[in-house]
Amino acid sequence: MEVHWIRGKGLDSNIYLIKGDETTLIDAGTGLHHNYVMHEIKKHVNPRDIKKIILTHEHADHYGGVRKILEEIGKDVEVASHRSAAERLRKGSDVTSLFFGFSPFPLDVGLELADGDRIRAGDDELLVIHTPGHSPGSICLYNEEEKILFSGDTIFQYGSFGRFDLPGGDANALLDSIEKLLSMDVDIIYPGHGEVVLEDGKDHILLAMDNLKAALE
Ligand SMILES: [Zn+2]
Ligand SMILES: [Zn+2]
């Protein structure tokens, strides 16, 4: 799987460009660093080759950039998210955008995902894992052959986990979600923020579970 990491600037989420027949972006940042993002994308692909943008969840630091990317490359790009995130994205009611310095706007999500779905990305397939807790519509995406997990804001490097105190957050749901991730064999983790994990990903997930349990005691 050919994955290019576009490191999030400022408060932006990381963006992952998966190159192949079905060139895909995972997440889109806030949109406040649009020129940088397009510059990074163009290092690897013609932006017009992007077929799909999958959003790991409904927060503005991940979806805010979609509108400008679509404007720049045309409308034939499918936007996908978990169905619970899609409902919120269509309403444009996400309050987190205010933290990131812009007003929420409605986003048309054409493809609704559910737990257990398989979705094409690049030349491979990703399994959709519904992981609520950080937000109701959070998903992780897993490639079994290469043991790659795109973890959104559910877990990060070295056992950090997503905050659960935002509207729609739920600590116990987050714990269940992290437990669910432990049933996967994971080497590489591409998280929504911070550094990527290039080996022993499962150790980082275990640590996240221990840390969250300790925080809840
Ligand atoms: Zn985020
Ligand atoms: Zn988030």
What residues are neighbours of ligand 2 (ion), with CB under 5 Å? Answer: 59, 153
Residues 130-185 have pLDDT tens digits of: 999 999 999 999 999 999 999 999 999 999 999 999 989 999 999 999 999 999 99
pLDDT at 75 (0 to 100)? 66
Q: Is the pLDDT of residue 98 over 80?
A: no
- The rounded distance, in Å, linking the Cα atoms of 150 and 88 is 21
Nearest ligand to the CA atom of 30? 1
Q: Which pLDDT tens digit goes with each residue over 174-183? A: 999 999 999 9
**What residues sit around ligand 1, an ion, with C-beta below 5 angstroms?**
13, 61, 153, 192
Ligand nearest the Cα atom of residue 27: 1
What is the 3-state composition of the chain as percent helix, strand, coil, each rounded to the nearest 5?
Answer: 30, 25, 45
Q: Please tell me the class of the 2-216 domain.
A: alpha beta
Phi, psi at residue 12, to the nearest 5°? -60, 150
Mean pLDDT, the chain, whole residue set: 95
Using 50, 70 and 90 to split pLDDT, how confident is the model at 76?
confident
Query: How far is the centre of ligand 1, averaged over its atoms, from the C-alpha of 13 (Å)?
Result: 5
Query: For the residues 63-83, what does the mean pLDDT come to?
Result: 92
Residue 96 to residue 73: CA distance in whole angstroms: 26
Question: If pLDDT is split at 50, 70 and 90, which confidence band does 94 have?
Answer: confident
**Residue 123, pLDDT score:** 98
Residue 199 CB: number of other CB atoms within 10 A?
Answer: 11
CA dihedral 146, 2, 161, 29 (to 10 degrees): -160
Q: How far is the CA of 182 from the centre of ligand 2 (A)?
A: 21
pLDDT at 53: 98
Query: What integer pLDDT is reported at residue 186 of this predicted model?
Result: 98
pLDDT of residue 133: 98
Model confidence at 93: pLDDT above 70? yes
**Once rounded to an integer, what is the mean pLDDT over residues 10-27?**
97
Task: Catalogue the E-assigned strands of 55-209.
Answer: 78-82, 111-113, 118-121, 124-130, 139-143, 148-152, 188-191
Closest residue by Cα to residue 127 from 185, 206, 45, 202? 185
Ligand with smallest separation from the Cα of 14: 1
